[in-house]
Amino acid sequence: MKVKMLAVLLFISLFLISCSNKNELEEATNKRNVSSEIDAKLVENVVGEWVGDTAGNYPTYGKFTITEKNRSLFFDDKKLQITKTIDDIVFTQTEEEKTFYYDFKVIDKKLTVYPSYSTRKGFTGGSLAPMELIKDGK
């Protein structure tokens, strides 16, 4: 009888401990704050036709068209909210429940896109391989 009671108490204790850690495993919903000051000229530099950089790591990305409308960038089939601009980087995020980030760094006629996503607290990862693009000369 004592062994059964001890087993039940142990099970209840483990169950309560696992429930109390639930907050640590919840999805991170780190929406970026939207800045009121966006550098329109920098955003204009991102807009256009882009192709994979043949001198870069991945020349076979294909062709991308980036457009801008109402403080949003349209990249491939994704609508991205522009959150801020700093130096030569345009920071964006998706408006979906699961937030993805696409940060665009412009240097001359080269564009590097840094995709990433939120991870659970305590987990690593979230950064994907950057895409190196150049202005389409056509």
Predicted pLDDT of residue 80: 93
From the list 16, 85, 18, 13, the residue with the least C-alpha distance to 46 is 85
Predicted pLDDT of residue 25: 46
Predicted pLDDT of residue 59: 59
Could you list the mean pLDDT of each consecutive 10-residue stretch along the chain, which spans 138 residues? 75 69 53 82 91 69 86 90 92 85 91 87 78 81
pTM equals 0.72
Strands 131-135 and 72-75: unpaired
- Beta-bridged to residue 93, according to DSSP, are 81, 101
Residue 19, helix vs strand vs coil: helix
Strands 78-86 and 89-94: antiparallel
Contact between 102 and 121 under an 8 Å Cβ cutoff? The reply is no
- Kindly report the CATH number that applies to the domain delimited by 28-135: 2.40.128.210
For the chain, what are the domain ranges? Answer: 28-135
